[in-house]
Amino acid sequence: MKNLVKAIIAIAIICAALMYTVHSLDKTSSKAGANVLTVYNWGEYIDPALLKKFEKETGIHVIYETFDSNEAMMTKVEQGGTNYDIAVPSEYTIEQMKDKKLLLPVDHQKIPNLKNIDADFLNLDFDKKNHYSIPYFWGTVGVVYNPNMLTKNLDFSSWNQLWDPSLKGEILLVDSAREVLGMSLNSMNLSLNSTDSAELKKATDKLIKLSPNVKAVIGDEVTQLMVNGDAAVALTWSGQAADMMYDNEELTYTVPDEGSNLWFDNMVIPKTSKNVDGAHQFINFMLDPKNAAQNADYVGYSTPNKAALKLLDAEVVNDERYYPSAEVRDNLHVYKDLGKEKIGEYNELFLKFKMSLQ
Amino acid sequence: MQNKRSGSITLVPYYVWIALFVIAPIVLVGYYSLLDLEGNFTLENYKNFLTPVYLKMTLSSFWYAFLITTVCLVVSYPAAFIISRLKNKQLWLMLIIIPSWINLLLKTYAFIGILGQSGPINAFLASIGFEKQQMLFTSASFVFVSVYIFIPFMILPIFNSIDKLSPALLDASRDLGASRLYTLRRVMIPLTMDGIKAGIQAVFIPALSLFMITRLIAGNHVITLGTAIEQQFLVTQNWGMGSTIAVFLIIFMFIIMAFTGEKKKKGASRRGKN
């Protein structure tokens, strides 16, 4: 009993000490005062040297936090209690955040470097005239594979090659309804934004036929598994594929001819921002050609900054795996926010597909 | 009299706690289960649950929870018995409990490494001339990892009841001519039944709603009700359907509790009569 009381007291003291430390740390950071910028970004999605450079140039202190899913990020902004000045959601989330009035408009006057962005990436459907968002990185959904592990000579120029019987138990899929059902829709030359229930059912039936080839449906663990050679083929995003190829040179990435998803991550200013001016400075800073090139080089995703492309390694820029030609890009489509009900239908069907895995 | 009154005052925090954290959440779950995406009242979710997809999922949840509980029991009972007969039994018990202090997610990730193609088990198999085996993303690996995670919860109650059991009773049974098996069947197991039931409850119910491991270890080859709830809340954001599945889970849990609790009462009353 005595020991128990001692233990409880010890825990209480430790908690009090920790709370005090957190409190005093908070105080010092808020003392740095008005000139603090809180950036909320995906993990491993910026060159830390750039943050230092930004602090030095502007005198603004940057607090950097990371999230791992659009939904988690949006929930945090929505619930309040945070003061993020910059966030980097994907396009369909921007649509939702716009609808929920979670974003502040971006003042283009304060971002002269906007001229560096390729016009192809501006004025897109999810945010006409870029009222709320500025492009950060973009990429595709495709197939990453290890040619040395294939028993048959496949190049995945068509999605339908995934159904090849020689791939039994070799395919990893991302655990995301839009990507997987979209892939099946694309393989039948249908739109990945389809809202036609008959088409979706057809896509699901086709997916169920894929199940013998599916090794697992998982999340970010795909990267490590592909690098280790646990599977021969994976459906994944171009950026993740770039990470894998960096660690395992046997791997290669391709976007099948029928078309696929084109995605954008964009900088936005959440309504929680306390330093709107600093946020604009930050966006402008990231659009500077030199900074954008340095960032793209570090992160490995494709930059929408056409002035930065000239500064990047020609080998990377001309690599169609990262920067597909305009011709290929015509076949790529951006996800639209289909509304809760349709998303629910996609997920129900995806669940049905997952149930067919044995 | 005074004792009784002070007793009822000290019970107040307990009632408040139960009302806030047991009854209110269940009522809320029940309420949400009656809402559709737009927040209108509907029974659609329940109709949806009674379709083959969810019924099959319920069946597979029960099947895997049953497998996990059975394997846990088969491993834990002898283990608890052996530990209770050891000299440093508290130390041995501690060694079994310590892994449960480590975060579940960390343990699961460790198993991805251990069971993977380039993991130590496959490296060992390869070194003695066997072919590499696909262990990760199979239902067997799912059961194995779940059993590993749940074993402390099974061993503890069983150990406690075996530890309380007087060895003299077993000796007496043997002296009176019962075989080892007969002693186990008619003396030891009935007298430690409470521990077994507590263990089954502590394993079966959480095993019904496992999620995460179904993705990380089974690669979604195993889909349980827990997986579906997670998806409905986080991805689809259909709280109504998620709550409906939760309502069914709660009902199943009550059934299991009643099932494993009732016999205990009967046993007690019989003992009372004697």
- Residues A206-215 pLDDT 10s: 999 999 999 9
Confidence (pLDDT) at B263? 52
pLDDT of A228 above 80: yes
Under DSSP, the state recorded for A187 is H
Contacts of A172 in chain B (CB under 8 A): 219
Across the interface, whether the CB atoms of B137 and A216 are under 8 A apart is answered: yes
Q: How many CA atoms lie within 13 A of A205 on its CB side?
A: 7
Confidence (pLDDT) at A29? 55
Q: Could you check whether A33-138+264-324 and A139-262+332-355 share the same CATH topology?
A: yes
A344 or A182, higher pLDDT:
A182
Rounded to an integer, what distance in angstroms lies between the CA atom of residue A222 and that of residue A224?
Answer: 6
**Among A216, A341, A352, beta carbon nearest to B219:** A216
Confidence (pLDDT) at A31? 46
Q: Which residue of B has its CA nearest to A75?
A: B234
Mean pLDDT, residues B109-128 taken together: 88
pLDDT of A268 above 90: yes
Q: What percent of chain A has pLDDT over 90?
A: 58
Residue A208 in tokens: 């169920």
Residue B189 in tokens: 């197991």
Question: Whole-number mean pLDDT of chain A?
Answer: 89
Q: Write down how long chain B is.
A: 274
Residues in chain B whose Cβ is within 8 Å of chain A: 37, 53, 56-57, 112, 116-118, 134, 136-137, 215-216, 218-221, 223, 228, 231-232, 234-238, 241
State the burial class of residue A331 (Cβ atoms within 10 Å of its Cβ: 0-12, 13-18, 19+). middle
**What is the nearest CA distance from A292 to chain B, expressed in angstroms?**
32
Phi, psi of B261 (to 5 degrees): -90, -35
Which amino acid is residue B37, in one-letter code? L
Contacts of B134 in chain A (CB under 8 A): 169, 215
User: Could you tell me which residues come within 8 angstroms of residue A86 by beta carbon, excluding any fewer than 6 positions away?
Assistant: A37, A38, A39, A40, A41, A267, A268, A269, A273, A279, A282, A283
Tell me the pLDDT tens digit for each residue of B227-240: 889 888 877 778 89
Query: Could you tell me if A301 and A121 are in contact, meaning their C-beta atoms sit under 8 angstroms apart?
Result: no
Query: What is the pTM for the complete model shown?
Result: 0.82
Least-confidence region, from A10-14, A71-75, A117-121, B182-186: A71-75
Query: Could you tell me if B238 and A344 are in contact, meaning their C-beta atoms sit under 8 angstroms apart?
Result: yes
Confidence (pLDDT) at B92? 92
Phi, psi of A175 (to 5 degrees): -80, 70
3-state secondary structure of A237: strand
State the burial class of residue B22 (Cβ atoms within 10 Å of its Cβ: 0-12, 13-18, 19+). exposed
Query: Could you tell me if B232 and B239 are in contact, meaning their C-beta atoms sit under 8 angstroms apart?
Result: yes
Q: How confident is the model at residue B3 (pLDDT cuts 50, 70, 90)?
A: low
Cα distances from A179 to residues A52, A56, A290, in angstroms, run 36, 41, 33
Question: What are the structural domains, with CATH classification, of chain B?
Answer: 55-226 (1.10.3720.10)
Contacts of B221 in chain A (CB under 8 A): 216, 357-358
Residue B41 in tokens: 């009242």
Q: In chain B, what is the greatest distance between 2 CA atoms, to the nearest angstrom?
A: 78
Phi, psi of B242 (to 5 degrees): -60, -45
Rounded to an integer, what distance in angstroms lies between the CA atom of residue A335 and that of residue A319?
Answer: 24
- Cβ neighbour number for residue A309 with a 10 Å cutoff: 21
Mean pLDDT, residues B33-38 taken together: 89
Chain A interface disruption, residue of B45, B112, B137, B231, most A CBs within 10 A = B137
Tell me the pLDDT tens digit for each residue of A73-93: 888 888 777 889 999 999 988
Contacts of A347 in chain B (CB under 8 A): 231-232, 235-236
**CATH top class, domain A33-138+264-324:** alpha beta
Query: Could you tell me if B200 and B166 are in contact, meaning their C-beta atoms sit under 8 angstroms apart?
Result: no
Across the interface, whether the CB atoms of B215 and A341 are under 8 A apart is answered: no
Quick one: how far is CA A33 from the chain centroid? 31
DSSP string across A107-168: -GGG-GGGGGB-GGGSS-GGGGGGSSEEEEEEEEEEEEE-GGG-SS----SSGGGGG-GGGT
Could you tell me the residue ranges of all domains in chain A? 33-138+264-324, 139-262+332-355
**What is the nearest CA distance from B75 to chain A, expressed in angstroms?**
27
3-state secondary structure of B166: coil
Which amino acid is residue A288, in one-letter code? D
SS (H, E, C) B130-149: CCCCCCCCCHHHHHHHHHHH
Residue A283 in tokens: 């966006």
Across the interface, whether the CB atoms of B216 and A218 are under 8 A apart is answered: yes
The secondary structure element, H or E, covering residue A264 is strand A260-270
**Among A218, A225, A355, beta carbon nearest to B56:** A355
Q: Which residue has the tokens 């036609």?
A: A196
Q: Which residue has the tokens 């998303």?
A: A343
Rounded to an integer, what distance in angstroms lies between the CA atom of residue A279 and that of residue A133?
Answer: 12
Residue A130 in tokens: 């870029």
- Cβ neighbour number for residue A65 with a 10 Å cutoff: 14
Contacts of A217 in chain B (CB under 8 A): 215, 219-220
Rounded to an integer, what distance in angstroms lies between the CA atom of residue B182 and that of residue B198?
Answer: 23
**What is the nearest CA distance from B40 to chain A, expressed in angstroms?**
14
Tell me the pLDDT tens digit for each residue of B56-96: 999 999 999 999 999 999 999 999 999 999 989 999 999 98
Tell me the pLDDT tens digit for each residue of A192-209: 999 999 999 999 999 999
Interface contacts (A, B; CB < 8 Å): 70
Across the interface, whether the CB atoms of B221 and A216 are under 8 A apart is answered: yes
Mean pLDDT, residues A256-283 taken together: 93
**Among B216, B220, B237, beta carbon nearest to A354:** B220
Contacts of A348 in chain B (CB under 8 A): 53
User: Could you tell me which residues come within 8 angstroms of residue B91 by beta carbon, excluding any fewer than 6 positions away?
Assistant: none
Cα distances from A132 to residues A105, A180, B200, in angstroms, run 5, 29, 54
pLDDT of A310 above 70: yes
Residues in chain A whose Cβ is within 8 Å of chain B: 71, 169, 172, 175, 177, 215-219, 221, 224-225, 228-230, 340-341, 343-344, 347-348, 351-352, 354-355, 357-358
pLDDT of B114 above 60: yes
Q: Which residue has the tokens 């440093």?
A: B88
Could you please state the CATH topology (level 3) that the domain comprising A139-262+332-355 is classified under. Answer: D-Maltodextrin-Binding Protein; domain 2 (3.40.190)
